[in-house]
């Protein structure tokens, strides 16, 4: 599969899989022009490309990463496409009762393991949104946390492992660029994100149900949020992801409905953003990007939307506080310093609460947020 040329891999429907692009992304919706960054250039230490990444990460925090210009990226794109395909098969062909047996870990509901569904409002409709998370601890680290994959995903272990591995390489490539640009000692960030450390890293596969044109805004796929992670690498084939216009005035997570912009999925590119951990490590010099997911636009709307996310988080014992550098302002520490594990738990509770509220008020969130 990896012997395909780059241009072939950019053709929708390549990789010998079904067409992931059943309808075109419309030309007449307000779309954000994210910058395209070359993974190959970053891996080769290209200074100008590193500066572009730093500028983005200190402002909007989102960029497209060209994966097809380097073998590691091609590996990641190819694994993500396979996982999107197997995710669709498993989600659609496994009874719901069986999927629900794959529980979030340890009763703490950290979003790194397990199956979570938001059921349809009416019986007989496909569930509105479902996703499952495969934790890194299943394959790497001391493996004390992994509870095993459920039977409906056990044959796919090798695919998840592969994507976690290439995702970690890509996330660490971005972080090593950032630590250099921030004048931090080498490995300040990457040593907190080693593949073999125990951490809350995961691969997530999401399915958002398609909708008919006459059912209004419908529930928001995922309300406005920032990621409780360090680096998020998103693979997506249909529209639905939105981020605020750079000129938008944002208070907490409130973005005016006119200020949301669509992110057009680009074959062969991942959408990369930083999460809240990077804001903490840099006293907000680096920015964690706000985003949300709504129904796909235009002719894509009736189709179920799948996405695959690789999340990289700091290792469990790492202290969530600012690093020291001439470019990171010193601020007084408010509250106790948490470990990454405790921090993750505290954030997830907040996310769950907002999610429950957004589901209850879905219309007002979509139109008034």
**Interacting residues with ligand AKG (CB under 6 A):** 204, 206, 222, 227, 234, 236, 240-241, 291, 293, 307, 309
Q: Which span (37-45, 196-204, 222-230, 358-366) binds Fe ion, by CB under 5 A?
A: 222-230
Q: Which one of the spans 112-120, 176-184, 219-227, 360-368 is the region binding Fe ion (CB under 5 A)? A: 219-227
Nearest CA to 230 among 307, 294, 292, 178? 178
What is the layout of strands, in order, in the sheet containing 36-38? 36-38, 62-66, 269-274, 231-236, 305-312, 202-208, 129-135, 114-118
Whichever of 184 and 228 has its CB closer to Fe ion, that residue is 228
179 near Fe ion, rule: CB under 5 A: no
Residues sharing a CB contact under 8 Å with residue 357, sequence separation 6 or more, in sequence order: none
Q: How far is the CB of 238 from ligand AKG (least distance, A)?
A: 9
Buried b (16+ CB within 10 A) or exposed e, 224-235: bbbbbbbbbbbb
For ligand AKG, the closer CB: 300 or 307:
307
Q: How far is the CB of 189 from ligand AKG (least distance, A)?
A: 21
Determine the 3-state secondary structure of 177 from DSSP: helix
Task: Please choose which of ligand AKG, Fe ion, none residue 241 contacts, taking the beta carbon within 5 to 8 angstroms, the exact cut-off set by kind.
Answer: ligand AKG
Applying CB under 5 A, the site for Fe ion has a residue count of 1
- Nearer residue to ligand AKG within complex by CB, 235 or 281: 235
* 138 sits near Fe ion (criterion: CB under 5 A): no
Nearest 5°: the CA angle 232, 234, 239 is 135
* Type and span of the H or E element at 37: strand 36-38
CB of 114 to ligand AKG, least distance (A): 14
Tokens of 99: 């999927």
- CB of 229: closest distance to Fe ion in angstroms? 8
Interacting partner of 236 out of ligand AKG, Fe ion, none (Cβ under 5 to 8 A depending on kind): ligand AKG
Pairing of the two strands 129-135 and 222-225: unpaired
Q: CB nearer to ligand AKG: give 227 or 315.
A: 227
**Binders in 98-127 for Fe ion, by CB under 5 A:** none
Our CB check for ligand AKG shows the closer of 176 and 288 to be 288
Q: For residues 110 and 309, which CB has a smaller minimum distance to ligand AKG in the complex?
A: 309
- CB-wise, 148 or 350, nearer to Fe ion? 350
Q: Which does 307 bind (CB under 5 to 8 A by kind): Fe ion, ligand AKG, none?
A: ligand AKG
CB of 308 to Fe ion, least distance (A): 12
SS (H, E, C) 252-280: CCECCHHHEEECCCCCCEEEEEECHHHHH
Q: Cβ of residue 48: shortest distance to ligand AKG, in angstroms?
A: 29
Q: Tell me which DSSP letter residue 137 carries.
A: G
> Are 129 and 121 within 8 A, CB to CB?
no
Nearest approach, Cβ of 80 to ligand AKG (angstroms)?
Answer: 12
Question: Among candidates 212, 225, 32, which has minimal Cα distance to 122?
Answer: 212
75 binds, among Fe ion, ligand AKG, none (CB under 5 to 8 A by kind): none
**227 is a site residue for Fe ion (CB under 5 A):** yes
Distance CA 369, CA 367 (A): 6
Q: Which residues contact 335 (CB under 8 A, 6 or more apart)?
A: none
Q: Would you say how long the chain is, in residues?
A: 369
Residue 234's binding partner among Fe ion, ligand AKG, none (Cβ under 5 to 8 angstroms by kind) is ligand AKG
Shorter beta-carbon distance to Fe ion: residue 50 or 241 = 241
Nearer to Fe ion, 9 or 80 (CB): 80
Residues sharing a CB contact under 8 Å with residue 274, sequence separation 6 or more, in sequence order:
57, 61, 227, 230, 231, 232, 286, 287, 288, 289
CA distance 206 to 227: 15
Which SS3 state, helix, strand or coil, does residue 327 take?
coil
Q: In the complex, which residues of this chain contact Fe ion (CB under 5 A)?
A: 227
């Amino acid at each position: 599969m990896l012997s395909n040329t780059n241009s072939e891999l950019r053709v929708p429907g390549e990789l010998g899989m079904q067409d992931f692009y059943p309808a075109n992304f419309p030309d007449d919706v307000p779309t954000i022009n994210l910058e395209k960054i070359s993974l190959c250039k970053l891996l080769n230490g290209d200074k100008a490309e590193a500066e572009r990444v730093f500028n983005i990460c200190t402002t909007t925090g989102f960029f497209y990463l060209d994966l097809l210009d380097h073998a590691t990226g091609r590996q990641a794109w190819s694994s993500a496409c396979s996982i999107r395909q197997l995710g669709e098969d498993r989600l659609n062909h496994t009874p719901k009762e069986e999927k629900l047996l794959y529980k979030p870990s340890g009763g703490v509901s950290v979003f790194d393991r397990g199956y979570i569904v938001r059921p349809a409002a009416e019986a007989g409709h496909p569930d509105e949104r479902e996703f499952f998370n495969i934790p890194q601890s299943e394959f790497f680290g001391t493996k004390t946390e992994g509870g095993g994959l459920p039977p409906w995903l056990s044959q796919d272990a090798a695919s998840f492992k592969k994507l976690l591995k290439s995702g970690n390489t890509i996330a660490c490539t971005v972080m090593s660029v950032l630590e250099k640009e921030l004048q931090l000692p080498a490995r300040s960030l990457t040593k907190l994100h080693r593949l073999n450390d125990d951490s809350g890293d995961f691969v997530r596969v999401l399915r958002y149900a398609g909708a008919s044109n006459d059912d209004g805004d419908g529930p928001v796929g995922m309300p406005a949020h920032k990621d409780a992670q360090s680096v998020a690498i998103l693979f997506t084939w249909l529209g639905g992801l939105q981020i605020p216009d750079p000129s938008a005035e944002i208070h907490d997570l409130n973005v005016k409905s006119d200020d949301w912009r669509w992110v057009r999925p680009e074959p062969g590119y991942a959408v990369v953003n930083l999460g809240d951990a990077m804001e903490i490590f840099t006293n907000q010099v680096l920015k964690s990007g706000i985003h949300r997911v709504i129904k796909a636009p235009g002719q894509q709307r009736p189709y179920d939307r799948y996405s695959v996310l690789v999340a990289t988080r700091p290792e469990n014992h790492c202290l969530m506080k600012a690093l020291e550098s001439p470019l990171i302002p010193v601020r007084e520490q408010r509250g106790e310093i948490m470990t990454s594990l405790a921090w993750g738990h505290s954030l997830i509770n907040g996310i769950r609460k907002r999610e429950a509220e957004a589901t209850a008020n879905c219309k007002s969130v979509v139109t008034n947020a």
